Amino acid sequence: MPWTKTDYPDSMKNLDKDIRDKAIEIANSLLEDGYEEGRAIPIAIDEAKKVGPKSDVTYHVTESDGKWEVKKEGADRAAGKFDTKEDAMERADELIDSRNAEIVIHRKDGSVQDTKKATE
């Protein structure tokens, strides 16, 4: 039985809407390929979580004048200035979840060290 955005398995009810919609799409595709419902559902949920929603905004964690900043891409002012990189990363982690953000973490020399997204 194909699922829709209003009629889907209970195991998908607590997923974020974008992830749920993608899981429904994947599950329906798996059903068409001959998978049983009991197997298609968990596979679809796992795959949808990997794809995840696109980030709404990008923040950069950078060092400036001896302080670590968390700054929205394109913004003039930082969202926060911190004495340590660890403190800046705590703030960045809060933004990942609350704003569906992508975080670009820089080294002191400005080069990119890592990136983090809401689904990680």
Q: What DSSP assignment string belongs to 39-68?
A: HHHHHHHHHHHHH-PPPSEEEEEEEETTEE
Same domain for 63 and 23: no
Confidence class of residue 89 from pLDDT cuts 50, 70 and 90? very high
In the predicted model, what is the mean pLDDT of residues 49-55?
Answer: 69
- Give the integer Cα–Cα distance in Å for 46 and 56: 22
Q: What is the CA radius of gyration of the chain?
A: 19
* 33 and 82 part of one domain: no
Q: What is the model's pLDDT at position 72?
A: 92
Give the pLDDT band (50/70/90) at residue 120. Answer: very low
The verdict on pTM exceeding 0.75 is no
Residue 5 lies in a domain: no
For residue 1, tell me if it sits in a domain: no
**Domains held by the chain: number:** 2
* pLDDT confidence tier of residue 1, bands split at 50, 70 and 90: low
107/57 Cα distance (integer angstroms): 20
Whether 31 and 82 share a structural domain: no
Instruction: Give the integer Cα–Cα distance in Å for 26 and 95.
Output: 29
Domain that holds residue 111: 57-116
Residue 17 lies in a domain: yes
Do 41 and 61 sit in the same domain of this protein? no
Contact by Cβ (8 Å): 38, 83: no
pLDDT at 26 over 90: yes
Pair 63, 112 in one domain:
yes
39 in the same domain as 63: no
**Same-domain check for residues 70 and 25:** no
- On whether both 29 and 62 belong to a single domain, the answer is no
- Say what the pLDDT of residue 71 is: 95
Q: What is the mean pLDDT of residues 77-94?
A: 93
Does one domain contain both 47 and 16? Answer: yes
Confidence grade of residue 112 (pLDDT, cut at 50, 70, 90): very high
88 is written with which tokens? 């800046």
The DSSP code for 103 is E
